[in-house]
Amino acid sequence: MTKIEKTVQQFLTRPESLRYFEIEKVLKFLGFNLVKAKGSHKKFKHPSLANDLVIPVHNNDCKNFYKTQTSKIVKEYIL
């Protein structure tokens, strides 16, 4: 199992334990594209999602709510 696969597994089981930069790596690995957004918000697009995934980032991290919501979206629509 590679490092990114371990990080994906951790993201799916305990997303609160990851920092934003690790979540960004996981999303890119799963096929999301980072789209330019204004300010501290990061916007991700995926071909199988109708809406964009927006994550506000402050101090190189995001709130646990956004981590768990992102994990739920990935579990439901991507995997």
For the segment(s) 3-78, the CATH number from 3.40.50.1370, 3.40.190.80, 3.30.920.30, 1.10.40.30 is 3.30.920.30
Where along the chain do its domains lie?
3-78
The residues, ordered by sequence, that sit 6+ positions from 67 with a Cβ below 8 Å of its Cβ are 15, 16, 18, 23
Q: What is the reported pTM?
A: 0.91
pLDDT in tens, 20-70: 999 999 999 999 999 988 899 999 999 999 999 999 999 999 999 999 999
Q: Element (H or E) spanning 12, and its range?
A: helix 3-13
- For 58, which DSSP code? B
Which of the two residues, 78 and 65, has the higher pLDDT score?
65
Q: Are 60 and 19 in contact (CB under 8 A)?
A: yes
